Copies of this chain bind each other. A is one copy, B any other.
């Protein structure tokens, strides 16, 4: 199995969810949290890409370059990326983005219009950036045409090409067919960006991986335009359960969501409840009634509630065995103090 590279786009596609009102502090803190969570590429900027902050697409609270600088100040490992839609973004803006700290760019065109991106891909490569060709609304054409367009991006010098399900409209079989065709015909790696309109974002990401994709997108807590993207935390959880190699850290991704992103959303008046307790219960494979007991035991003995639940899952604890949770917490506390 090939290693999977994670791109988180909370600060770009997720920016739609907050009507592009992320603050510079949000940018810095969320980027820092994502780097701690092992995310390979962090995308940032207006939801509609570089220079998207207009009367047409909605003004952002800050310009892209300030956001990039704020995030870049926190990063030493993760690659900071911007999105560029030719026709909205320009090569000039890309140069400014690079100056502010961007190391990568995703050049996004409609699925049948890769040629719109030729000039931008070539310029970005000349600038020494890591370049992703991003073919949007990939459900609107067939595998053959998609592959032709992807080959164009490859010929321009792109490092990776994505089949992007902007509309959240792709069925598993469609993802499999298209990604397989890209994988078969391209020399460069293939990526997939899912939206959750039909509730298929996580599984379409898995299907893409199965078909050969090695670059996968997510957003913390499933933020993103419309129904949102693949939740980064769920993606990491499922990749872990399936044994895929990647750089993501589940607990730290959850921390970035619960301690940084969600409080910031709530401060903006967007009442978002964390779904991550439920996620960890499914990850551990334990009864939901365990949560409260595990929390109490964790507090009492100074142990991470997630470690307690994971161990309960390994021991196949069932309803009625809530006392095991205390036993487990004590054991974990003892191990820690050794």
Contact = CB atoms under 8 A, between A and B. Distances in A.
Interface of A: 110, 137, 139-140, 166-169, 171-173, 195-204, 206, 222, 225-227, 230-231, 234, 237-238, 241-242, 271, 275, 278-279, 281-288, 313, 316, 318-319
A222 to B, nearest CB: 8
Please name the 7 residue pairs, one residue from A and one from B, whose CB atoms are nearest each other, closest first: A197-B282, A203-B203, A199-B202, A227-B278, A168-B282, A169-B285, A199-B234
A179 to B, nearest CB: 16
Contacts of A285: 139-140, 167, 169
B278 A168 contact: yes
A283 B241 contact: no
Given A199-B201, A227-B278, A278-B227, A242 B171 contact: yes
Contact of A197 (B171, B196, B283): B283
A282 B198 contact: yes
B227 A167 contact: no
A18 to B, nearest CB: 15
A279 B227 contact: yes
A69 to B, nearest CB: 30
Given A198-B241, A200-B202, 17 more contacts: A167-B286, A167-B288, A168-B282, A169-B313, A171-B238, A172-B203, A172-B206, A173-B242, A196-B199, A197-B278, A197-B281, A198-B282, A199-B199, A199-B203, A200-B203, A200-B238, A226-B282
A199 B278 CA distance: 10
Given A140-B316, A279-B198, A281-B226, A167 B287 contact: yes
28 contacts: A137-B287, A137-B318, A140-B316, A166-B287, A167-B282, A167-B288, A168-B282, A169-B281, A169-B282, A169-B285, A172-B203, A172-B206, A196-B278, A197-B281, A197-B282, A198-B238, A198-B241, A198-B279, A198-B282, A199-B231, A199-B279, A200-B202, A200-B203, A202-B203, A226-B288, A227-B278, A227-B279, A227-B282
B198 A237 contact: yes
Contacts of A316: 140
A99 to B, nearest CB: 30
A283 to B, nearest CB: 7
A171 B202 contact: no
A117 to B, nearest CB: 16
A168 B281 contact: yes
Contacts of A284: 169
A261 to B, nearest CB: 17
Given A171-B241, A238-B200, A195 B282 contact: yes
A329 to B, nearest CB: 20
Contacts of A234: 198-199
A286 B169 CA distance: 8
Nearest to A285: B169
B318 A288 contact: no
A298 to B, nearest CB: 19
A241 B110 CA distance: 23
A55 to B, nearest CB: 15
A202 B206 contact: no
